[in-house]
Amino acid sequence: MRKPASRGKQEPKICVFCRNNGAPEEVYGSHVLKTPDGRVVCPILRAYTCPLCSANGDNAHTIKYCPLSKDQPSQRPLKGGRAVGGKRMKIF
């Protein structure tokens, strides 16, 4: 019998913020970054105060993800890819 395919993104059981910052496995494996509804639960990130907008706690984020940052991740321009039929398509 096959397992039903999981739908959607699998929630990580680790804190990717702590892992990416080099914390030991005992630290990043002890919590997750956010709850499914987007509330920050990582104790390290919760304690950080954004120098641009002063957010911390439930809404904590780094400068890179600050809504006031000019360098925030945005939708990247599409690169040339393949259309559904497999043919190359030119975006610009």
Tell me what the mean pLDDT of segment 57-73 comes to: 88
Burial of 62 (0-12, 13-18, 19+ CB in 10 A): middle
Greater confidence (73 vs 18) lies with: 18
Map out the domains of the chain as residue ranges.
16-65
CATH among 4.10.60.30, 3.40.605.10, 3.40.30.10, 3.40.50.970 for 16-65? 4.10.60.30
Neighbours of 83 (CB within 10 A): 8
**pLDDT digit string (tens) for 15-63?**
999 999 999 999 999 999 999 999 999 999 999 999 999 999 999 999 9
Alpha helices in 1-92 (DSSP H): 16-20, 25-28, 43-47
- Give me the pLDDT at residue 83, please: 47
Greater confidence (14 vs 91) lies with: 14
Per-residue pLDDT for 89 more than 90?
no
